[in-house]
Structure 1
Amino acid sequence: MMRPVLVFVSFGVAAQEARQKSLAPLVSELEMAFPRFSVVEAYTSAFIRRRLKASGIEMPSLEECLAKLCGKGVREVYVQPALLTPGEEYENKILKEAEPFYARFAVLRIGEPIFFRCDGTENDDIVRGLAAISSEIVPAKDEAAVLMGHGSPHRHNPVYALLQQRADEEGKSLYIGVLEETDTPNFATVLDRLRKSGKKRVLLAPLLLTGGRHVTEDMAGEAPASWKSRLQRAGFSVRIAMQTLGERAAFRRLYIEKVRHLIEDN
């Protein structure tokens, strides 16, 4: 009998080193946690898939992956998004691409992004996610932690504000902002809150699953527009933590729990 398949679908990353540091450990841990499943990957980004194909690496979209599994006769498929937040990527590149395949498998279930539930229960993703982040990104006593997420140019995502609200409720010296200036909370919001905090030293870290240009250039680069440069010009001493969320064991464990709920709760 053919094994059930777990599809781990991410936006994707082109740089081999970034893949090996962030996505590869996640896939490996999923394989170990769910040994009765075959674990395969899919990328939502057509741009990254084209770049990888040019270097000899074939990576399917979710639609291509599901079609291939269907052709092989697989009957049971679980799809776990690597996405941090629900939004357009989740709706258009995962839910919509999976929709035509429900009738073609005996079982097809789609999991939740990491920050999906905000219901005050023990499964509240904001509480659990912030706890995982805070366990590994720890500012010194005289520092404030600044986490740079991506945000969306198309539609505001409330997850970042909810994470900030929870951090405030817990009294953490932690400020969350997004790279997209049209989304909120943006850099200006973070800077204003930092100034009001009275802290002069900053621990700057990515609120991103994988590395690449956003981390090396937009966050930590030497160019005037990077968050590091802007914070330094504003008078702050900046310490950089380059590790992405995918490189942090406590955060990777959140994916194991998401998959466990996906398999067991239905």
Structure 2
Amino acid sequence: MMKKKVVTLLCTAVLTGSMIAGCGSASSAASSASAASSSASSASSAAAEVTEAASSSEEVETVSSSSVSADQAAADKVAALIDKIYVQERTDTTDEDCKAAKEAWDALTDTQKALVEGEYADPDYFGRDTGDASKDDPLNEDGIGENEILVCSFGTSYNDSRVQDIGGIEKALQAAYPDWSVRRAFTAQIIINHIQARDNEVIDNMDQALQRAVDNGVKNLLIQPTHLMHGAEYDELSEAVSKYADKFDSVKIAEPLLGEVGSDTSVVNEDKQNVAKILTATAVEKAGYDSLDAAAADGTAFVFMGHGTSHEANITYDQMQTEMNDLGYKNVFIGTVEGKPADTECSAVIQKVHDAGYKKVILRDLMVVAGDHANNDMAGDDSDSWKSQFNASGFFDSVDAQLEGMGRIPDIEQIYVSHTKAAMDSDATVSSSSEAN
């Protein structure tokens, strides 16, 4: 468009000059011709300036476009590297891939970091502040000895939660059983890779931890899951352990936090009862109330949000609600972020709390670790978080959240300690997968 304007301006100037030269007397014509010549010269000069300006503008646009393209290309490279390590299987190149992703991220400008977006990648993968990883102990040392307690967790990339929740359970077990070596394994390779890439902290997966035990000559291996229930993760853990069972003198697996599942919603074991009492008492104290009844009198309800599962163990959440009801905890409600079982879905819980007449809500995670689900799905600022949905309902005067995993509660840690002791004292051992077949 700029070039067309230049040509038009030039043609107009020349035409104007010609018209002036063709009118009036000879002297006038001469004078006019001179003026026309001058005018044409000025027009030509102006046209040159416009052309130069247009050329300069086009160059600026090209440079700007090139800069944006380069920024996006750099961001896309990092996104691709993050997506490559956002996988559940460890590969021969995982260590190199984690290192490459972090180095590429560190080389980005702040502008470029904001552009990172992939199938799983976003700026928070490396950019979110989750605490100081240096405070954590991955418990991957050798020199284990003959007796090992392997604490198996799903895992979390939230550093502070890993230290307080998972680390709290590990420390409690080591204190209770000083003659045993406590080691760690995570079942989520995605999380292991995230921590390794971002913080350069290496945590064993199940195969690595079990092979470490074999290489160290462990004879008696006891697996203590930090899982909440006998769900899909517990089943996968049991299968992984069975492949190594014939490499030890004895292999035992202790109960998860809530123990056996039970046949229906009315079947509640001692573990569930104890967890219900401990979790509620902790939440009430943190909220500043003298008792749960005092909170109810103040119009406050407590909503404990678990994960939810499509596994048959999803009945566990209804059993926890049954236990709360049996204990007379009328202002305590159980929900799940996955909405399984269906009656624990967020909108259903909102309606229950509203129908019960409570005007204040305190959300707290029914999870061993206060990780991504607690921080984002429960207490996050996005419109689909539980806190946002409770507020958006318009039913409540206030909605607050407590971000604390159960793994940091001393009485909860002692339930794991008792489960470990029960497994030690039991004659039940894990059969190898070859024997099972």
- TM-score category by the smaller chain? over 0.9
Find 2:170's aligned residue among 24, 27, 35.
Answer: 27
Q: Which has the larger radius of gyration?
A: 2
Match of 1:83 among 203, 219, 227: 227
Percent of pairs with identical residues: 25
1:186-229 CA distances to partner (integer Å, 9 max, x unpaired)?
11221121122111111111111112321222111222111111
Question: Would the aligned equivalents of 2:261 and 2:315 in 1 still touch at CA under 8 Å?
Answer: no
* Secondary structure at 1:137 match in 2: helix
Counterpart among 276, 298, 317 of residue 130 in structure 1: 276
- 1:61 maps to which of 205, 229, 235: 205
> Aligned partners of 2:321, 2:185: CA distance in 1, in Å?
31
| Alpha-carbon distance in structure 2 between the residues aligned to 1:12 and 1:210 | 8
**Counterpart in the other structure of 1:233:** 392
Shift of 1:165: 0.8
Equivalent residue number for residue 146 of structure 1: 303
SS in 2 for 1:157: helix
Query: Does residue 258 in structure 1 map to residue 409 in structure 2?
Result: no
AA at the equivalent of 1:199: Y
The number of residue pairs the alignment matches comes to 265
Structure 1 residues 48-101: Cα deviation after superposition (integer angstroms, max 9, x where no partner): 111122232221122221122112211010000000011111111x11001122
Question: More displaced, 138-147 or 223-232?
Answer: 138-147
The corresponding residue for 1:246 is 407
Mind listing any 5+ residue stretches in structure 1 that lack a counterpart? none
- Give the secondary-structure state (helix, strand or coil) at the position aligned to 1:246: helix
Segments of structure 2 that go 5 or more residues without pairing to the other structure are 1-143, 285-291, 428-437
SS in 2 for 1:258: helix
| Structure with the higher helix share, 1 or 2 | 2
Structure with higher strand content: 1
1:207 paired to 2:351: no
Shift of 1:123: 6.2
| 3-state SS in 2 of match to 1:151 | coil
Instruction: State how far apart, in whole Å, the 2-side matches of 1:180 and 1:123 are.
Output: 24
Q: Read off the aligned partner of 1:144 and give its amino acid letter.
A: A
Query: Cα offset for 1:2?
Result: 3.2
Asked if 2 retains the 8 angstrom alpha-carbon contact of 1:136 and 1:250, the reply is no
Partner residue in 1 for 2:214: 70
For residues 167-206 of structure 1, what are the structure 2 equivalents within 5 Å?
A: 167-172=324-329, 173-184=331-342, 185-206=344-365
- Matches of 1:118 and 1:246, distance apart in 2: 20
Q: What is the CA distance between 1:126 and its match in structure 2?
A: 1.5
AA in 2 matched with 1:263: M
Structure 2: distance between partners of 1:232 and 1:17: 27
Q: 1:8-53, CA deviations, whole angstroms, 9 ceiling, x for partnerless residues?
A: 0000111222211211122111111111100000000010111122
- In the alignment, does 2:207 pair up with 1:42? no
The farther-off stretch of 160-169 and 125-134 is 125-134
Q: Which residue of structure 1 aligns with residue 141 of structure 2?
A: none
Measure, in 1, the Cα distance between the counterparts of 2:401 and 2:257: 24
Partner SS for 2:224: strand
Q: Cα distance 1:28–1:182, how it changes in 2: closer, same or farther (>3 A)?
A: closer
SS at match of 1:152: coil
Q: Given that residues 78 and 110 in structure 1 are in contact (C-alpha distance below 8 angstroms), is that contact kept between their aligned partners in structure 2?
A: yes
How far off is 1:122 after superposition?
Answer: 11
Deviation at 1:135, TM superposition (A): 2.3
Q: Is contact 1:133-1:250 (8 Å) kept?
A: no
- 1:199 match: secondary structure: coil
Match of 2:247 in 1: 104
User: CA contact under 8 A between 1:206 and 1:215: conserved in structure 2?
Assistant: yes
User: CA 1:153–1:123 in structure 2 vs 1: closer, same or farther (change >3 Å)?
Assistant: closer
| CA distance 1:104–1:46, shift in 2 (3 Å) | same
Highest relative contact order (Cα 8 Å, sep 6+), 1 or 2? 1
Question: For 1:42, what is the secondary structure of its paired residue?
Answer: strand
Root-mean-square deviation (Å): 2.1
User: CA 1:159–1:240 in structure 2 vs 1: closer, same or farther (change >3 Å)?
Assistant: same
Q: Hey, what's the Cα distance between the residues in 1 that align with 2:201 and 2:374?
A: 23
Q: Determine the structure 2 residue equivalent to 1:223.
A: 382
Find the residue that maps to 2:255 and give its secondary structure.
coil
Whether the 8 Å contact between 2:161 and 2:405 is mirrored in structure 1 is no
